[in-house]
Amino acid sequence: MNRKNIVYSLIAATGYGSWAFYANQGTGQSLQAFITQGALSFISTLFFLSLILWVVTQRNGKKHQLLTGMAIPNGIVVVILYATHFVAGTPNIVATILPSCIMGMVGSFFYIRGLGGTVD
C-alpha cells in the first residue's frame, strides 16, 4: 500500500470526521457521526484513489478519462457514504457528507489531471 495514500486517508478521516462531529452537535450522536465518517473517509479515500486509477486506465481520450474518472468513483462513494450513515442513524446525512463529496470531485479532477503519463 502506498504511504502517500495512507497519509491522505488519515487526513481525510480527521477532517471529515471532525466535520461530521460539528454537523451533528446537539443531536446526542456527534461522536457516533465522527467515528462513522472518520472510518468511512479513511477507507473510502484508499478505495477512491485505486478506483479512479482503474477507471481512467480503462478509457481512451483525456476528456473521457476525466469525465468517467470523476463520475463513476464519486457516484459509488456518495451511495456508500449515504447508505452507511443511514444505517448508522446519522441525523443530518447530507450536511455530514456534502464536504466530502465536494472535495472528492475537486480532488479527483486534480488527481486525474496529475496522472500525466498514465493517461493519453
Instruction: Answer whether 105's CB lies under 8 Å from 92's CB.
Output: no
User: In total, how many domains does the chain have?
Assistant: 1
Query: What confidence tier does 6 reach under pLDDT thresholds 50, 70, 90?
Result: confident
Q: What is the C-alpha separation between 78 and 80, in angstroms, rounded? A: 5
- Would the pTM count as exceeding 0.75? no
H/E stretch holding 24 reads none
Q: Tens digits of per-residue pLDDT, 54-89? A: 888 888 888 889 999 999 999 998 998 899 889 989
Instruction: Answer whether 78's CB lies under 8 Å from 99's CB.
Output: no
Alpha helices by DSSP H, the chain:
3-23, 30-57, 62-88, 93-114
Q: What range defines the domain where residue 80 resides?
A: 3-118
Q: What is the C-alpha separation between 38 and 14, in angstroms, rounded? A: 6
Q: Tens digits of per-residue pLDDT, 16-59? A: 899 999 989 999 999 999 999 899 889 988 888 888 888 888 88
